[in-house]
Structure 1
Amino acid sequence: MADKKEQRRGLGRGLSALMADVEVKPQASTDTSPVRADRVVPVERVVPNPDQPRRTFTEAQLQELADSIRTKGIIQPLIVRVNPRNASEFEIVAGERRWRAAQMAQLHEVPVLVREFDDTEVLEVAIIENIQRADLNAIEEAAGYRQLMFKFGHTQEKLAEALGKSRSHIANLMRLLNLPETVQDMVVQGDLSAGHARTLITAPNPEALAKMIVAKGLSVRAAEKLAKDAISPPQPKVRPSGSVSVEKDADTRALEGDLSAALSMRVSIDHKPGHEAGKITISYESLEQLDALCAILSTA
């Protein structure tokens, strides 16, 4: 009985104890020392977890993993438990991608680590493994953190310490879950980066802005400005006289250019549309330029 207790992993032993079983090593890792498996079992006796949080397994990624397994085998054993619905089978706790890829590689057996987990612990370990995957997108990772916090009572500080992440990283990712689902889907599909999405969290119309960012191919910096302008639209400049700056037409700008070239000084024309009167401002940079301007005006 004492040995059985010692072998159990669970919430009582803390998140770090569960982490010890699910440390993920890339299949193509240069570390060639394999993790020792408890046993090798026929692939047909292994079944997936029906409550697996991750539902998407892309064909290209599975094929890449299968190619690696054909040449190097399965480096990291699957973590399994005895299937509570069929004692002759093993249910996957962590490693469903490896199991699927092993079948594509036509392996007949897979290495496993057999653990005694209850249903709650199975879900927790599955979430932890998914979070540690390098190919996880920002929304999936954030959803994993939220599940660990809400389902199991873990704090951001505890997650940061156990997972080797900064607390700000976890907090910033979880804020993405406040975005509309349509924007989150754009991140999941790879149309929008997490950096772009973060700029939209406090924007009043994130969905419209997200579509604009994607359509125009804006940088993160440009997206930040777009979101900032949506929150606080830039106000038109007001002249000291109280008049509002109006966009100048092409003819006015051309005339400014001609006068500036003739006088070798900067000339600005303020002309209100629909009015006959206006104002010309000539800027000089030295007293010599002022003298030259006075001479021009005196001979006119």
Structure 2
Amino acid sequence: MARNSRSKDNKKHGGLGRGIEALFEDEPQIEDNNEEEIQDLNLSDIRPNPYQPRKNFDDKSLKELADSIKENGVFQPIIVRQSVKGYEIIAGERRFRASKLAKKTTIPAIVRDFSESQMMEVAVLENLQREDLTPLEEAQAYEMLQKNLGLTQEEVSKRMGKSRPYIANYLRLLTLPNKTKHLLQHGDLSMGQARTLLGLKNKDKIDEVAKQVVKEGMPVRKVEALVASLNAKKPRKKTVQKSPFIRATEHQLANKLGSTVNISESKKGSGHLSIGFSSTAELNRILDVLGVDLDE
């Protein structure tokens, strides 16, 4: 069944938000349409946007939306594009998922002609405007735009309406170790806490410190102080365990010479022998014991 609906907004792509409209201002192939056809499409013919940056959908809010759809239907149509097999969602995946949950068979939709790059950008922008992404999902979305569209950080920042440092700070989150990423993704760790942990000089300690931060519920300022104190500590030198033969040799030489003796051995079998003395007289005594005559 098809229905006609006149847009209340004379701007490009009415209903998607000013950020998305601005995105396509330089796309001459997309024309203004004050009137668009709303179609009831079969849910079975529709697939999610392959570039959807949001990985987690809140079950409780989806259930609430599904209950509303059961009672009142879907007020705002989703936006799709036609693909080889059926349709792909451009915007409105929550309504799509909730409609399936409500056991609906169709959903009102507007079909538009979008390129791959436009699909990616709209998916990111829609979620950013709704503030639906976790910090990690947002970072992954910017990385996707960079890689798939070949954009620089500066170009991503312009397209998204963000500053370059803002984009750079999010992309840095992707360098966190996996356990810390998990804490960030599930809301146990905040963006501010995660960014502060990136300042640790010893990157191998990030997961351990992140776990401590979550356990103690540290505010960002306390995390900053902890990171600063850890960075100020000098790493302990690793003590090499000497073999029984080396230790016995040191002991025998020390007894014979009456002085401290230290033997260091490399993995290749070479090494160094050092004999301690506190004065010239003691050095001469050691030389006598060794049978070294400097006058010869």
Give the TM-score normalised by the residue count of structure 1: 0.59
What residue in structure 2 maps to residue 110 of structure 1?
107
CA positional deviation for 1:78: 1.6
Question: What percent of counterpart residues are identical?
Answer: 37
Equivalent residues of 1:130, 1:136 under 8 A apart:
yes
What residue in structure 2 maps to residue 46 of structure 1?
45
Alignment-mate amino acid for residue 82 of structure 1: Q
Q: Deviations over 1:111-161 (max 9, x none)?
A: 222122344543443344344441211000011011112221333344334
Evaluate the alpha carbon distance shift between residue 151 and residue 52 of structure 1 in structure 2; reply closer, same or farther with a 3 A threshold: closer
Within-5 A mapping of 1:148-167 = 148-167=145-164
Within-5 A mapping of 1:43-122 = 43-49=42-48, 51-53=50-52, 54-70=54-70, 73-84=73-84, 86=85, 89-122=86-119
What residue in structure 2 maps to residue 173 of structure 1?
170
Alignment-mate amino acid for residue 147 of structure 2: F
CA positional deviation for 1:37: 5.3
Equivalent residues of 1:37, 1:77 under 8 A apart:
no
Evaluate the alpha carbon distance shift between residue 94 and residue 46 of structure 1 in structure 2; reply closer, same or farther with a 3 A threshold: farther
Alignment-mate amino acid for residue 81 of structure 1: R
Equivalent residues of 1:40, 1:109 under 8 A apart:
no
Alignment-mate amino acid for residue 38 of structure 1: E
Q: What SS class does the counterpart of residue 199 from structure 1 fall into?
A: helix
Evaluate the alpha carbon distance shift between residue 188 and residue 114 of structure 1 in structure 2; reply closer, same or farther with a 3 A threshold: same
Structure 1 segments, 4+ long, off by >6 Å, are: none
| 2: CA distance, partners of 1:161 / 1:75 | 33
Within-5 A mapping of 1:227-238 = 227-233=227-233
Does residue 17 in structure 1 map to residue 17 in structure 2?
no
RMSD: 3.2
Equivalent residues of 1:81, 1:92 under 8 A apart:
yes
Equivalent residues of 2:43, 2:96 under 8 A apart:
no
| 1: CA distance, partners of 2:74 / 2:172 | 36
| 1: CA distance, partners of 2:26 / 2:98 | 23
| 1: CA distance, partners of 2:114 / 2:167 | 26
| 2: CA distance, partners of 1:124 / 1:17 | 10
Does residue 220 in structure 1 map to residue 220 in structure 2?
yes
What residue in structure 2 maps to residue 125 of structure 1?
122
Corresponding residue to 1:191 among 181, 188, 192: 188
What residue in structure 1 maps to residue 3 of structure 2?
none
Q: What SS class does the counterpart of residue 38 from structure 1 fall into?
A: strand
Does residue 147 in structure 1 map to residue 144 in structure 2?
yes
Q: Deviations over 1:208-227 (max 9, x none)?
A: 11011011111111011111
What residue in structure 2 maps to residue 285 of structure 1?
none
CA positional deviation for 1:52: 4.1
Task: Give ranges in structure 1 of 5+ residues lacking alignment.
Answer: 1-6, 9-13, 21-34, 235-300
Evaluate the alpha carbon distance shift between residue 73 and residue 64 of structure 1 in structure 2; reply closer, same or farther with a 3 A threshold: same
Evaluate the alpha carbon distance shift between residue 49 and residue 195 of structure 1 in structure 2; reply closer, same or farther with a 3 A threshold: same
How many aligned residue pairs are there? 206
Equivalent residues of 2:38, 2:77 under 8 A apart:
no
